[in-house]
Structure 1
Amino acid sequence: MFGLFARYIEIASPITGRTIDLSEVPDEVFSQRMAGDGIAVVPTGNLAVAPADGEITLIFQGGHSFSMKTPEKLEITVHIGLDTLIMNGEGFEVLVQEVSKVAKGTPIIRYDPDAISSTGLSLISPVLITDPDSIRTLSAYPGMDAEAGKTPIMKVRLR
């Protein structure tokens, strides 16, 4: 009653870089929140880590993206760069297996920013909550410098 027992989860940045609002992502699927709500990171690093404790549920073909589920059953997807599926794994090194239990900050994918940029693709990396029915509210924190696995970039209130 009145939020006394509300459950919140803070999501850390999976990538070191500057956060931006999803509406600024130059890809309609992300900017229009068709794939989920969240935030994006303009990377300055080369490592994607777990943004929360949980289990890796999917490593997308080529290692350009991963999904995980927290103990509270919140589903999070991290997409490294835009349209990076076309790289067929070039420049991506997967560091964990699917169904691995991970702690916030655990390295998941190492990527080569130069390999992505040299193809003309954007490094902007969306961080999405992909199960909107499980959340009541989502507060994202754009316009800040974030450290992978440490800096909160979103706060989600669960249903």
Structure 2
Amino acid sequence: MTNQILAPVSGKVVELASVPDPVFSEKLTGDGCAILLEGADVLAPVDGEITLFFETKHAFAITTESGVQVLVHVGLDTVILDGEGITALHQSGEHVTAGTPILHLDLPLLKKRHINLISPVLIVNYEKVRDLTPTGSIGAEVAAGKDAVLRYAV
């Protein structure tokens, strides 16, 4: 059975290898893709439980029923904001469905602070999946909660 990961943010798809941070480009934290964020809402990319939520609100992970953990990292250097400009709408331990708003961003503030808005979407425990493939082409525009960005089998 093929599963899909929806775009958690609206924007342009970026190849993970071209993300200007080796932690992501060299797949040290997982495999997937990235999206150059253009919208203010960050949605759940899959159904599951929020199993990781950084205090700084710059990243969260949702674990699916089959045990696949999907990490959404909002921007590359958002951690330096220490949560400023990011509003959490849910918390760790809550069960959510794909498309549920998880974060709301103050985009004007992020842009004013020169935050790189490339947002990696990764399967952290990618040894649990097979056939992980991007669904669209690099540079394609995706809509949060509507377009699938990755497909995988368990």
Match of 2:31 in 1: 37
Match of 2:140 in 1: 144
Whichever of the two has the greater Rg, that structure is: 1
Identity %: 38
- Which amino acid is the alignment partner of residue 52 of structure 1? V
**Structure-1 separation of matches of 2:52 and 2:93:** 8
SS at match of 2:145: coil
SS at match of 2:110: helix
Moved runs in structure 1, 4+ residues, more than 3 A? none
How far off its partner does 1:112 sit? 1.6
The size of the alignment, in residue pairs, is 152
**Alignment counterpart, residue 101 of structure 1, candidates 89, 95, 98:** 95
Is the CA contact (8 Å cut-off) linking 1:81 and 1:116 kept in structure 2? no
**Structure-1 separation of matches of 2:151 and 2:130:** 11
Is the CA contact (8 Å cut-off) linking 1:113 and 1:123 kept in structure 2? no
Equivalences for residues 54-133 of structure 1 within 5 A: 54-133=48-127
Match of 2:4 in 1: 10
Is the CA contact (8 Å cut-off) linking 1:58 and 1:98 kept in structure 2? yes
- Which amino acid is the alignment partner of residue 149 of structure 1? G
- Which amino acid is the alignment partner of residue 106 of structure 1? T
Unmatched runs of 5 consecutive residues or more in structure 1: 1-6
Match of 1:3 in 2: none
Cα deviation code 1:40-92 (max 9, x no counterpart): 01111011000011111111111111101111211000000002111000000
Is the CA contact (8 Å cut-off) linking 1:61 and 1:85 kept in structure 2? no
How far off its partner does 1:32 sit? 0.9
Unmatched runs of 5 consecutive residues or more in structure 2: none
Match of 1:22 in 2: 16
Is the CA contact (8 Å cut-off) linking 2:68 and 2:126 kept in structure 1? no
Q: Normalization by structure 1: what TM-score? A: 0.92
**Structure-2 separation of matches of 1:153 and 1:55:** 20
Q: Normalization by structure 2: what TM-score? A: 0.95
Match of 2:153 in 1: 157
